[in-house]
Amino acid sequence: MYKEELMLKLLLLFALFFSGYTLSGNISKISDGDTLSLNAKGEQYKIRLLGIDAPELKQSFGKQSRNHLLKLCPIKSRAKVFFKKRDKYGRILGKLECKNAKEVNKQMVLEGFAWAYREYSKEFVKQEQRAKQLKKGLWSEENPIYPQDFRKQFR
């Protein structure tokens, strides 16, 4: 009996540790194609979409990427963020769900408005390959510049 109880408690702790957190609120700002602000519990939270890297606003397809995220998650619309941690800038790293899209991160990559951010996750690589194959969004350009390379030009 004691062994079963201990196993059950360990399993519960394991599930709690790996399940992460959920934050629900209203979209208050779309900064670019992978960053937004969420008003939840009377506070503003800066959210960075996990596993994707969208073009910078001054980069080709940057404004289109932001506008696409805005279309999926309009200002003042309800949203949920599923997360486990924050990045080095204090932003919540998470997966976003909105009324118009259940898997926003995946949609952004699949529709060609963001890259799979391979340095941090391999989760959306297949979606990126599919978008590239179909020449969707930024993949309609001959040689789109990866956002990380674009940012390096200005350091």
> What residue segments make up the domains of the chain, in order of their start?
21-152
Q: Give, in order, the Cα–Cα distances in Å from 115 to each of 15, 62, 82.
A: 30, 12, 20
Architecture of domain 21-152: Beta Barrel (2.40)
Annotation says 56 is catalytic: yes
Element (H, E) at 131: helix 125-133
pTM above 0.75, yes or no: yes
Q: Taking all residues of the chain, what is their mean pLDDT, rounded to a whole number?
A: 91
Res. 1: pLDDT tops 90: no
Please pick, among 5, 43, 56, 141, the residue that the annotation labels catalytic: 56
Please pick, among 4, 43, 48, 141, the residue that the annotation labels catalytic: 48
Q: Give, in order, the Cα–Cα distances in Å from 118 to each of 32, 98, 100, 136, 153.
A: 19, 24, 26, 19, 20
**Cα 112 versus chain centre, distance:** 14
Tens digit of each residue's pLDDT (9 = 90 or more) over 29-48: 999 999 999 999 999 999 99
Strand ranges, E, within 33-109: 35-40, 43-49, 52-53, 78-86, 92-98
pLDDT of residue 100: 86
Beta carbons of 136 and 112 less than 8 angstroms apart = yes
Confidence of residue 54 (pLDDT cuts 50, 70, 90): very high
Res. 17: pLDDT tops 60: no
Please pick, among 91, 97, 111, 128, the residue that the annotation labels catalytic: 91
